[in-house]
Amino acid sequence: MTDVARLAAFTTDPTRGNPAGVVLSAEGLTDAEMQRIAADVGYSETAFVVASSDRRHTVRYFSPMAEVAFCGHATIATAVALATRDGVGDLVFETRAGEVPVHTAGADTLVASLVSVPTRTRPATTEELAKALAALGWQESDLDPAWPPHVAFAGVEHLILGVATRSRLADLSYDFDALKDLMLERGWTTVHLFWPERPDLVHARDPFPVGGVVEDPATGAAAAAFGGYLRTLGATGRVTVIQGEDMGRRSELTVDIDPTDPKVTVTGAATRIPS
């Protein structure tokens, strides 16, 4: 029987954050077996680890419905699980999206920082925006014109939409099938909806119908893509993203943006979920 660790990422409270499954010894598992395990676990992603060398690991990520090239919260959970077993320090994850360096630190509270692949971003097309708003049941007036709609990449692509008010962000009820179809057509992993409380503190929600769940409570890949988006618009430094609050699983993601580097660092804690 395959041993699956369960951790909550981007939190120190196992009842909050984003739960991820982690299989630390996935040697010999077929794609079909990994997909079945991820479906049985039922979290938005489960990570499967094959050790390539002492601190270098091949990592694959499966949602309950399909494999995804990269998953941020499962990366944080996997790194903390490895640090618990092997001790803190530097790691390298070889993923379908590229090589991802990860650093773990801490004692009682373990924290992991992932460095994304180089980010890129482009303006969303008029057609993409119209279809997304229709699926969300929103109007253009629900968006903040200060934040242009973009499609951003940090291993996988996300539609980035700045929301005009916190109340609009809190009131999220969308057409699951319509948004899923659009995201599959465009190759988007989540739609990253955000409202800035202040320049260094942002609230976000991420619909994730392509993964078989209505909403992701913490999305490290989207946070990295969002950091690339902010960098394109001229913002740098550290931004805290609060996600999952409106679904009762508050998560805290720290995003560091370097004006000279297209890679973005995303940091968070993770903790074991009691069985």
At which residue do the structure tokens 């951003």 appear? 152
Cβ 97 vs Cβ 69: under 8 Å: yes
Which of 27, 33, 45, 127 is catalytic? The answer is: 45
With the CA atoms of 201, 248, 246 and 215 taken in that order, what torsion angle do they form, in degrees rounded to the nearest 10? 100
CA distance from start to end of the chain: 16
Cβ 111 vs Cβ 91: under 8 Å: no
Cβ 189 vs Cβ 225: under 8 Å: no
* Alpha helix positions (H), 160-206: 166-170, 176-186
| Tokens standing for residue 269 | 């804690």
DSSP string, 34-80: HHHHHHHH-SS-EEEEEESSSSEEEEEEE-SSSEES--HHHHHHHHH
The Cα–Cα gap between 156 and 70 comes to: 7
Cβ 3 vs Cβ 24: under 8 Å: yes
Residue 275: CB atoms within 10 A of its CB come to 5
Q: Is 45 a catalytic residue?
A: yes
Q: Which of 114, 79, 104, 45 is nearest to 267 (CA)?
A: 114
Radius of gyration, CA atoms only, the chain: 17
Active site residues: 45
